Amino acid sequence: MVIPEDDEDEEAIIERRRRERQKLLEKLKHNSDTKFAKVSASAEIEDDREDEDDNIGSDDENSSAPSPAVEERQKHEEEHQSYGEWKSLKTTSTLAGKPAFDMFADDDRIDKMVKNSEDQTIMATNENPNLTDNWDDAEGYYRTQTGEVLDQRYTVFGYTGQGVFSNVVRARDVLKGSHEVAIKIIRNNEIMHKLGLKELEMLRRLNNADPDDKYHCLRLYRHFFHKKHLCLAFESLSMNLREVLKKYGKNVGIHVVAVRSYSQQLFYALKLLKRCNIIHADIKPDNILVNETKSILKLCDFGSASLVSENEITPYLVSRFYRAPEIIMGLRYDFPIDLWSVGTTIYELYTGKIMFPGHSNNQMLKLFMELKGKIPNKLIRKGQFRAQHFDESCNFLSHETDKVTQRDKVTVMPVVHKSRSLSHELRGGERLTPENNTRVTHLVDLLDKIHSIDPHKRPNISDCLNHPFITEK
């Protein structure tokens, strides 16, 4: 093989080979013998693999292995591709020269959480989609069809939606009297597959610790593989709380009695999480489902969950609007980050508005201080990311975009004055009945305690469950 003298020649060769491969694929589309077409294309691609810029696998298990250099390059390209997918969905930052992902840690940590995952992993290669049996799209999502039968027992009849990790379908279990289930089909992608296995392990722990289903975490029935996708079969529920708010309380929230019921159930879910030493790390209205009558909720989506002993400091854990201050500042975190997220969710349920709608971590800190006052210096000094938000004297560095130049403008703020009132925001200027006025007063007190900047000053779950907002009928 002749090595090109510069990058331009190499790119030209790559482009030429891609065009040749595309012509081959167009011919193969008209070949009635699908199996023969796949083998022929695999062989052609195997011949070209050393000179290609992208990773394209072969279905032929007996094909000759690439050289170590090519193998290493392919590994690097796969990692780069995975990083690109996440970068388009989540903000990334560089800490100590290492990219930090928003929602998950590095592969080493995932491997520790998912023991023996290599034995369970059934992954598709990075083939060109035109060479597969067309059941995946270009991003690895499974293309499901109404009437399709999964695992010889689940007949698909509806499509729920698609998230970062998976897509979800509704099906009837023919072995259980056509009982309705929701099936989460994990994307055919190595990182997503590992996260799916991690979610499977978290759900097993939670369900085993709650055999009588009293603690409002979603029930997993079983898991299976379908066309190289990990699939999780769950109990079927109606809609998430984001949809409930949109339908019944857009911009105004829902009734305080419903908020109280939902709050109590969420506290029970947190109680089970703590019992199992699990941090959910992504509690928000989207990840909370309700049943058909809207009376019972279940916490779901444990793809970002981890054991408390395995957490790692990262500024982008939890969706931003529900992210606790200790995460943003780079402090050690624990179960209180989930309590903070539940508190912001409760606020949103009652008001119909996001509690802290910051467009960046820096603005989130400013919003926290506008409600709670200046962050204590002792917390600032302990934070690994303090230099991003505070100077040496612990003055807040407010980052704003100049409207004229569109450049970052930093303002030193020795004091951030409290300008928000929970009581005013929750009452909204309304005249409440004496009974509801008492309930809202209790809710204000509960949320004020939950949103203590210092996580050690937040109430424990028992305190929350025994708070007058929950106990007074």
Q: Are 76 and 69 in contact (CB under 8 A)?
A: no
d(CA 172, CA 323): 37
Give the pair of three-digit tokens for residue 340.
């903070």
DSSP 390: B
Is 282 one of the annotated active-site residues of the chain? yes
Cα Dmax for the chain: 85
Q: Are 254 and 350 in contact (CB under 8 A)?
A: yes
CA contacts within 13 A on the Cβ side of 433: 4
d(CA 38, CA 44): 10
Instruction: Spell out the residues 6+ positions from residue 119 whose beta carbon is closer than 8 angstroms to its own.
Output: none
List, as one string, the DSSP characters of 212-233: T--S-BPPEEEEEEETTEEEEE
Strand partners, 279: 306
Sign of the Cα torsion 234, 236, 237, 242 reads positive
Q: Are 443 and 469 in contact (CB under 8 A)?
A: yes
d(CA 471, CA 99): 46
Instruction: Determine the 3-state secondary structure of 301 from DSSP.
Output: coil
d(CA 374, CA 29): 65
3-class SS shares of the chain: helix, strand, coil, % to 5:
45, 15, 40
Which residue matches tokens 């002749």? 2
d(CA 323, CA 345): 11
Instruction: Determine the 3-state secondary structure of 159 from DSSP.
Output: strand
Q: Are 187 and 138 in contact (CB under 8 A)?
A: no
CA angle 109, 324, 203 (to 5 degrees): 45
Q: Are 394 and 387 in contact (CB under 8 A)?
A: no
When computed from its CA atoms, the radius of gyration of the chain, rounded to whole angstroms, is 26
d(CA 267, CA 273): 10
Active-site residue identified among 210, 282, 301, 338 = 282
d(CA 407, CA 289): 41
Helices within 210-280 (DSSP H only): 241-248, 256-275
Instruction: Determine the 3-state secondary structure of 468 from DSSP.
Output: helix
Q: Are 199 and 305 in contact (CB under 8 A)?
A: yes
Catalytic residues: 282
